[in-house]
Amino acid sequence: MSNKEAIDSFLGQKKLAIVGVSRIKKKFGNIVYRELKGKGFEVFPINPNMDKIGNDRCYPSLKDLPEAVDGVLIVVPKNKTEQIVQEAKTAGINHIWIQQGAESKEAISLCEKAKINCVYGECILMFAEPVGMPHNIHRCLWRLIGKYPK
């Protein structure tokens, strides 16, 4: 789990790349893209197998972005996460959120060694305001049982 300071620091970045955006609306990569965009984040979808998501251009990788981003949300299988972290490091990106299920020890270690603000073990939708259903219930439960980051 990550601490609240790391979470707040990441969410303070308003220009984010989302690596692992899916064309399937029910998959988390698609849901989080739509949610963060709706919450006012400027989001850049990344998936090497898609040209567009909705009316927005989708980019094959971080190096193909038209401009610099402040942070990267990683929503890919854990065996690809370390490579994405390395690409972010090379691009000078200092804020990374590794969504639950995408974490790998190697990727987290790489972030720590590079002094990258890294959030892992948490769901971004439980923290990106305004928090909607069902994530606000989840957040309340975590506060009650003492699992909410401090």
User: What rounded mean pLDDT belongs to the chain?
Assistant: 94
Residue 73 has pLDDT above 60, yes or no: yes
Instruction: Please report, as a single letter, which amino acid is at residue 5.
Output: E
How much is the average pLDDT of 126-135? 90
Read off the CATH number of the domain in which 50 is found.
3.40.50.720
Residue 1 has pLDDT above 80, yes or no: no
Q: Which residue, 79, 88, 72, 89, is CA-closest to 36?
A: 72
Question: Which pLDDT score, from 0 to 100, does residue 140 have?
Answer: 86
For residue 113, being part of any structural domain is answered with: yes
The number of domains in the chain is 1
Q: Tell me the per-residue pLDDT of 17-56, one tens digit each, with 9 for 90 and over.
A: 999 999 999 999 999 999 999 999 999 999 999 999 999 9
User: What is the distance between the alpha carbons of residues 4 and 10, in angstroms, rounded to a whole number?
Assistant: 10
For residue 150, being part of any structural domain is answered with: no
Please, which pLDDT band fits residue 147 given cuts at 50, 70 and 90?
A: confident
For residue 28, being part of any structural domain is answered with: yes
Determine contact, residues 81/104, Cβ cutoff 8 Å: yes
What's the token pair of residue 5? 């300071």
* Residue partners of 139: CB distance under 8 A and separation at least 6: 126, 127, 131, 148
Question: Which pLDDT score, from 0 to 100, does residue 117 have?
Answer: 96
The residue range of the domain holding 82 is: 4-145
Pairing of strands 56-57, 52-53: antiparallel
Q: Tokens 């909705």 correspond to what residue?
A: 54
Question: Which pLDDT score, from 0 to 100, does residue 9 have?
Answer: 96
Please, which pLDDT band fits residue 97 given cuts at 50, 70 and 90?
A: very high
For residue 139, being part of any structural domain is answered with: yes
Please, which pLDDT band fits residue 135 given cuts at 50, 70 and 90?
A: confident
